[in-house]
Structure 1
Amino acid sequence: MQETELKLELSESAASALLKQNPFEGTPTVLRQRSVYFDTDGGDLSKRGLSLRIRQCGNERIQTVKSGDGSAAVSLTREEWQRPVANDIPVLDDPEVKPMLAGTGDSLAPVFAVHVKRHRWNVTEGDATIEVALDVGKVVAADREAPLCEIELEKKTGSPTALFALARKINLITPAHIGVLSKAERGNRLLGPAPAAIKANASALTADMNAATAFAHIAAACLKQFRLNEMVLSWSRDADALHQARVSLRRLRSLFSICKSLFADSRFDHLRDELRWLASALGNARNIDVMIKRASDDNLSRRLQAARKDAYGAVEASLSSVRARSLMIDLAEWISIRDWRSGETGAALLVRPSRKFASTVLDKLWKKVARGGRNLIDLDDETRHELRISAKKLRYAAEFFGPLYESKTEAKRQKRFIIAMEGLQDQLGSLNDLATAPGMLAELELTHTAGAEDLFNADDKEKLLHDAAEAHDIFVDTKRFWR
């Protein structure tokens, strides 16, 4: 059986406001549910992209096994297998489920539980029937627990676009963020270290994917990385989380640029512009964090810290805005529905083999960086900045499409190539920090503060230029893994 579902995250106050207004049809059914999730000590089910739970509601217990891509933010559809059970002991004799759970039966044990009060409505949205479930409760793992407040929108009939239409209506009534964690993922996160900044992970691409499917997997992973870091920023002004949030937006914008030939609809430019706006909204805070690390004067550090407080306040305002929340809903729909082109010619572009598409993209970007970095020391700041952007796109493309090159030789070359790209990007990034520091200091009215000149020292620039030129030579000499 397949479910088509979209999740939204709410605060408890937002959930209360929604219940008070009750914009849905009729009086909700109210249920209390307890769900026990099972896994092995080594988390074998989680590693396989599976979850197994037994949910109790009243005297009824239903066992559910779900499969899905945990790296994706907007995988609307998941396979699930359900059956009634007598107690909280998993039953594994289903012929469809048994092979997926092979080797785990004897070692399965409860690992966490989810307790919620569920309000449920059946809603008509356009041509669709949607089950709306508002869950408020907690996830409990041993002596740790975390609050849970989310809405599940499950399509029963009609088009999946109705899920997003309803999500937008809810977001205008009360703040609602695209949900990127299943309940199983929430429990598994509770079992580990406290959530911190989340770096990008490789997407699970395979060579038999077409270009459109590969793009959707990568884009969904970028969106998920952003939302996870945004969650950290909702309770902590963590510099690493802010940096990784910006990285996820840069990666997504680069992906848009890299894959532009796949798209021919009016939404593309709008979404790209909105991503640029959101990345820019985080920029000042990130630039200040970089200067704080380099500041050696105590007075300058104090004044930068004061500026940081204001900058992070602006970040919080941007992230909590209707505009930012709407952008994430729009992106989730655009990525998951995939109606980017029409006609036979457009469809042919979308189904182009992903590896062939990736090799063409990587060749084009490599040539641009190789040629653009000639005589790097003599380039002006603006031209060097353009080279930095091209290098960033190439590195991201190499990371995005790396899983498509599966042989041992290709994997080794990809690893060496990424290391060379990181070296070049780091040097170009440091040069860019020096170039932008004077303008940033002037904007903060700190140009004449003691220690400010140390942030853009000419001697530092001279050394960085030679280091960057050397890094470019190493990059050019590094074998390309896709050829």
Structure 2
Amino acid sequence: MKDDDRTHEIAALGDDAHAESTFAALAAPLVDEALARNAAIHADASPESLHQLRVALRRLRSLWWAYRPLLDKAENTRQRALYRFLADAAGETRDWDILLELLSGIDGDVPACLRDARERALAASRETLVNADIRNVLHDALASAAKELNTASVRHALPRFAAQRVRAAERSLRARMRAASRVKRPDYELLHDVRKAGKRVRYLIEFFGPVLDERDHERVLKRLKELQQCFGELNDVIASIALLRANVHLFADQCAARDALAYLKLRRKERRREAVRLLAKA
């Protein structure tokens, strides 16, 4: 689990802490991280910067999901949709980075036309994030949610609330794993749902880890990370195939386009086999 000031603050609150008053301690560092990552991509839009921005926004989305029972339902849904929109904006460029990285495994030389397309996607990502006024949007969302929670007439003990929300996330994960394992042929959408549900469980355990004492969550995190690594690689290949198919017109040499697609399909088959194996083991 990543060690940071947030977990130390939560641990210091003790068993008498309330979920409502803890929200800001959890959310504020995530907002700061998202804003720092957003600033970084304007200075250096490396693949890692874009990836970390997406992660920060996904963690925010998961925290708002955790607090969904205590927040206005419509506003909570709107906020989570906003975080997804911002993550997708960064993701458009990140998808190109993944495609370029995968294709570099063929002969180390990626067509210039695809690199140019990545730069155009980056310009679009930057413009979307600038126009979204992400700083004010995130700070306003944090202030609004914290105010609603701190003025609520009912208080919920943090350890109990945290355990309930982690269990809810785990039930959702198990349901998606059952659905994915029951189909005769691997269903990419169902496997992707498993990946997303696994991330939510992981994030919630990381948020609330210091007040969770039911079982060995470090062991759970280790297993989830293994699943996510494999399922993430499968999702990367699937997304790259879709992106390549949508942009084959960029290739001057259509034989090169077909070779690239065949290479990605082979990688997909390998990743799919491993994902099914891990799912059966889980």
Instruction: Please tell me the TM-score bracket, short chain as reference.
Output: 0.7 to 0.9
Matched, 1:370 2:174: yes
Match of 1:261 among 69, 79, 91: 69
- Are 1:264 and 1:340, in contact at CA under 8 Å, matched by a contact in 2? no
Q: How does 1:210-359 map to 2 (within 5 A)?
A: 210-264=18-72, 267-295=75-103, 296-297=106-107, 300-321=110-131, 323-335=133-145, 337-340=146-149, 347-348=153-154, 351-359=155-163
Q: How does 1:413-452 map to 2 (within 5 A)?
A: 413-445=216-248, 448=254, 449=257, 451-452=259-260
Q: Paired residue for 1:75? A: none
Deviation at 1:274, TM superposition (A): 2.0
CA spacing shift, 1:301–1:362, aligned 2, 3 Å: farther
Q: Paired residue for 2:272? A: 465
Question: What's the Cα RMSD here?
Answer: 2.8
Asked which structure has the greater RCO (Cα within 8 Å, sep 6+), the reply is 2
- Are 1:366 and 1:394, in contact at CA under 8 Å, matched by a contact in 2? yes
Write 1 or 2 for the structure with the bigger share of helix.
2
Q: Paired residue for 1:111? A: none
- Are 2:50 and 2:94, in contact at CA under 8 Å, matched by a contact in 1? yes
- Are 1:420 and 1:471, in contact at CA under 8 Å, matched by a contact in 2? no
Deviation at 1:266, TM superposition (A): 5.1
Q: Could you state the TM-score of these two structures normalised by the residue count of structure 1? A: 0.50
- In the alignment, the residues of structure 2 paired with residue 270 and residue 325 of structure 1 have an alpha-carbon distance, to the nearest angstrom, of 17
Overall identity of the aligned pairs, in %? 23
For residue 204 of structure 1, give the secondary structure of its aligned residue in structure 2. helix
CA spacing shift, 1:451–1:209, aligned 2, 3 Å: farther
**Per-residue Cα deviation, 1:70-123 (whole angstroms, up to 9, x for no partner):** 95xxxxxxxxxxxxxxxxxxxxxxxxxxxxxxxxxxxxxxxxxxxxxxxxxxxx
Larger Rg: 1
Paired residues, number:
266
- In the alignment, the residues of structure 1 paired with residue 139 and residue 74 of structure 2 have an alpha-carbon distance, to the nearest angstrom, of 17
- In the alignment, the residues of structure 2 paired with residue 290 and residue 347 of structure 1 have an alpha-carbon distance, to the nearest angstrom, of 48
- Are 1:294 and 1:455, in contact at CA under 8 Å, matched by a contact in 2? no
CA spacing shift, 1:442–1:202, aligned 2, 3 Å: farther
Q: Paired residue for 1:387? A: 194
Deviation at 1:420, TM superposition (A): 0.8
CA spacing shift, 1:299–1:252, aligned 2, 3 Å: same
- Are 1:210 and 1:353, in contact at CA under 8 Å, matched by a contact in 2? yes
- Are 2:9 and 2:25, in contact at CA under 8 Å, matched by a contact in 1? yes
